[in-house]
């Protein structure tokens, strides 16, 4: 290296910090740019679906039209050929594929995959396959983020972070709900967050929603009257809805969990026909009287909210939607499960609301409120995103008076689902695909060990920094180490060899050169101490109230308490 370009360690460190700060600013600017581009793509994606639906199935899908059978089957064959020979990585909903990009491929999603996901998902949903646009939008946003970040030469560490940033962008634009998108990405894609990541995710999601609302407006997806709980018995009805939603989510998950691997085991010649056969069956359901189950089904959700079906019809639609979505998704047709999940929840909730109106007329809940709570219930129980499910219902309705019924029903459904189906659907699908991705539910529930779990009693002498070296040498005769309590309240671990060459009347603080051990509290994670145990054999842990020493931690003690089992007791 040329000497002219070399600098002192301090100058090199300063240059490194400046480069990091420039990259951080670039990261935030790119997040906004990604939000705008992904927002435009998602808007185009939704418009393409609506245009294809009108072109292929007509503006109104009515039973007994032969195209309801022929179009989904024909498009299914086209999709199967395209996924086999042109776009092999577009199968699935998009959620697990984005997680795989983050944890396996360093944030890499190819531009071909983005194009394929856009085209084939739009064709599948527009032709009537029982799938939704939100999950593909998530992967499209992540793909846009991956492409842009590669073009500008972002570091590998930042490149990995851009996948969840783009995912939140795509989902926020698709749902027109930035808070729900941010929470879902944290709950299901990355499992945790830092201030830097959260800032970028928020900027990107807000930018995409601004773009989406410039086309669609700021009106909520669904409108219902305000919920007024006049009778406490209504909460019992919502609790029953939570139980019913947990059972429906179990049936939905078990159906996909069985059908998905069974279809994958079929011979290649039959597998290429599966999207066509799924389209044929789903189209047959529409032909024989239930076209509502075809496509995303948002119109049917709105109709269910406004009491346009009997409760028997609503239960029928919920059951058929489970069957149709399981077939469409398991066949390998690209598309998402968010919209079908909301459909099932809305019809199930509306059915319970209609049943209540008929048999318990004294209760005052509206059909729309039960449908809306049902959407959150299925989202929490099937997709296993409890926090997202609450805010999703609030954002898509902008009705905050419904929060108490939503929290109650979602909690019951989520708890029941976890007890009956321990493995979440996304984790189950990753295992069936031969991948091992982090279980975000396990991460959320993980009980992190802390320093208090590895505390050992203080068995070494404690001296004040105003003591002389001679006094310290006397108390250090047995084990050669002492804890020094400094005048500023901090602590220092002193070894015997540090003071052997000093005069006996020299004060300890004159040998410390201002160095202190790190400040550690009992509630901090074990990992906080690990980097410092290379320098010291033991570290003091102090109380947050007054700074009194509560014990010490050592490397052998931490290893015995390590949650990964590096050294069990």
96 near 426, Cβ under 8 Å? yes
Domain chopping of the chain, boundaries: 21-216, 233-445, 451-560
How confident is the model at residue 566, as a pLDDT?
42
Per-residue pLDDT of the chain (569 residues; tens, 9 = 90+): 444 445 555 555 555 565 566 666 677 788 899 999 999 999 999 999 999 999 999 877 788 899 999 999 999 999 999 999 999 889 888 888 888 888 888 788 899 999 999 999 999 999 999 999 999 999 999 999 888 888 877 766 667 777 788 888 999 998 888 888 888 888 777 766 666 677 788 889 999 999 999 998 877 777 776 776 677 778 898 999 999 999 999 999 999 999 999 999 999 889 899 999 999 999 999 999 999 999 999 999 999 988 899 999 999 999 999 999 999 999 999 999 999 999 999 999 999 999 888 887 777 778 888 999 999 999 999 999 888 899 988 888 887 888 889 999 999 999 999 999 988 898 889 888 888 777 666 666 666 778 888 899 988 888 888 888 888 888 887 778 888 888 888 888 888 877 777 777 888 888 777 788 899 999 888 888 888 888 888 999 998 887 788 899 988 888 876 555 444 44
Question: Which one, of 120, 123, 48, lies nearest residue 84 by Cα?
Answer: 120
464 beta partners? 485
User: Which DSSP letter does residue 537 get?
Assistant: S
How confident is the model at residue 377, as a pLDDT?
96
Examine domains 21-216 and 233-445 and report if their fold is the same: yes
d(CA 210, CA 205): 9
Residue 157's contacts (CB-CB under 8 Å, 6 or more residues apart) are none
Q: What is the CATH number of domain 21-216?
A: 1.10.3080.10
Whose tokens are 């460190």? That residue is 13
Q: Is 467 exposed, middle or buried (0-12, 13-18, 19+ CB in 10 A)?
A: middle
d(CA 107, CA 465): 51
User: Which DSSP letter does residue 456 get?
Assistant: B
Phi and psi for 462 in degrees, rounded to 5?
-115, 125
Could you write out the three-class secondary structure of 411-436? HHHHHHHHHHCCCCHHHHHHHHCCCC
How confident is the model at residue 486, as a pLDDT?
87
The encoded tokens of residue 83 equal 């996924």
Could you write out the three-class secondary structure of 12-68? HHHHHHHHHHHHHHHHHHHHHHHHHHHHHHHHHHHHHHHHHHHHHHCCCCCCCCCHH
d(CA 343, CA 365): 20
d(CA 335, CA 120): 8
**Is the domain defined by 233-445 classed in CATH 1.10.3080.10?**
yes
549 near 458, Cβ under 8 Å? yes
How confident is the model at residue 466, as a pLDDT?
87
d(CA 56, CA 516): 73
Counting DSSP H helices and E strands in the chain, the numbers are 22, 5
196 near 164, Cβ under 8 Å? no
451-560 topology per CATH: CBS-domain (3.10.580)
Q: What pTM was estimated for this model as a whole? A: 0.83
The encoded tokens of residue 60 equal 């109104």
286 near 61, Cβ under 8 Å? yes
């Amino acid at each position: 290296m040329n000497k002219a370009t070399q600098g002192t360690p301090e100058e090199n460190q300063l240059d490194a910090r400046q480069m990091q700060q420039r990259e951080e600013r670039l990261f935030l600017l790119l997040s906004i740019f990604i939000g705008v581009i992904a927002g435009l793509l998602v808007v185009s994606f939704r418009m393409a679906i609506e245009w294809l639906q009108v072109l292929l199935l007509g503006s109104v899908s009515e039973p007994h039209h032969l195209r309801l059978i022929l179009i989904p089957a024909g498009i299914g064959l086209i999709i199967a050929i395209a996924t086999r020979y042109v776009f092999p990585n577009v199968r699935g909903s998009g959620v697990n594929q984005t997680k795989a990009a983050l944890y396996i491929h360093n944030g890499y999603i190819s531009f071909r995959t983005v194009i394929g996901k856009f085209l084939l998902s739009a064709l599948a949903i527009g032709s009537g396959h029982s799938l939704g646009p939100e999950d593909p939008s998530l992967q499209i946003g992540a793909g846009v983020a991956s492409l842009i970040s590669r073009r500008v030469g972002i570091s590998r560490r930042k490149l990995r972070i851009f996948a969840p940033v783009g995912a939140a962008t795509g989902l926020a634009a698709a749902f027109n709900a930035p808070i729900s998108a941010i929470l879902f990405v944290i709950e299901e894609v990355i499992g945790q967050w830092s201030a830097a990541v959260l800032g970028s995710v928020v900027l990107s999601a807000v930018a995409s929603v601004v773009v989406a609302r410039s086309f669609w407006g700021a009106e909520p997806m669904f409108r219902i009257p305000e919920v007024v709980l006049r009778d406490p018995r209504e909460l019992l009805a919502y609790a029953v809805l939570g139980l019913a939603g947990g059972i429906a989510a179990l049936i939905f998950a078990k159906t996909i969990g069985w059908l998905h691997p069974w279809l994958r085991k079929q011979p290649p010649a039959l597998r290429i026909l599966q999207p066509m056969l799924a389209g044929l069956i789903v189209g047959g359901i529409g032909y024989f009287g239930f076209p509502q189950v075809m496509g995303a089904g948002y119109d049917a959700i709105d109709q269910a909210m406004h009491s346009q079906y009997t409760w028997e019809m609503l239960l029928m639609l919920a059951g058929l939607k489970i069957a149709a979505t399981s077939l469409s998704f398991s066949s390998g047709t690209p598309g998402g499960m968010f919209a079908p999940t909301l459909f099932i929840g809305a019809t199930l909730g509306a059915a319970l609301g209609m049943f209540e109106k008929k048999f318990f007329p004294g209760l005052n809940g509206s059909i729309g409120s039960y449908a809306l709570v049902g959407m959150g219930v299925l989202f929490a129980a099937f997709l296993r995103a409890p926090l997202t499910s609450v805010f999703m219902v609030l954002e898509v309705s902008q009705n905050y008076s419904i929060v108490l019924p939503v929290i109650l029903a979602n909690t019951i459904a989520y708890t029941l689902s976890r007890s009956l189906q321990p493995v979440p659907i996304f984790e189950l699908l990753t295992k069936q695909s031969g991948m091992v991705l982090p279980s975000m539910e396990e991460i959320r529930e993980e009980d992190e060990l802390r320093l208090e779990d590895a505390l050992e009693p203080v068995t070494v002498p404690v001296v004040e920094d105003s003591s002389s070296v001679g006094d310290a040498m006397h108390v250090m005769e047995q084990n050669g180490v002492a804890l020094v309590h400094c005048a500023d309240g901090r602590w220092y671990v002193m070894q015997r060899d540090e003071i052997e060459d000093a005069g006996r009347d020299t004060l300890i603080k004159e040998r410390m050169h201002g160095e202190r051990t790190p400040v550690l509290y009992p509630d901090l994670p074990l990992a906080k101490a690990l980097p410092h145990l290379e320098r010291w054999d033991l570290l003091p842990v102090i109380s947050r109230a007054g700074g009194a020493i509560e014990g010490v931690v050592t490397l052998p003690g931490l290893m015995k308490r390590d949650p990964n089992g590096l050294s069990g007791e």
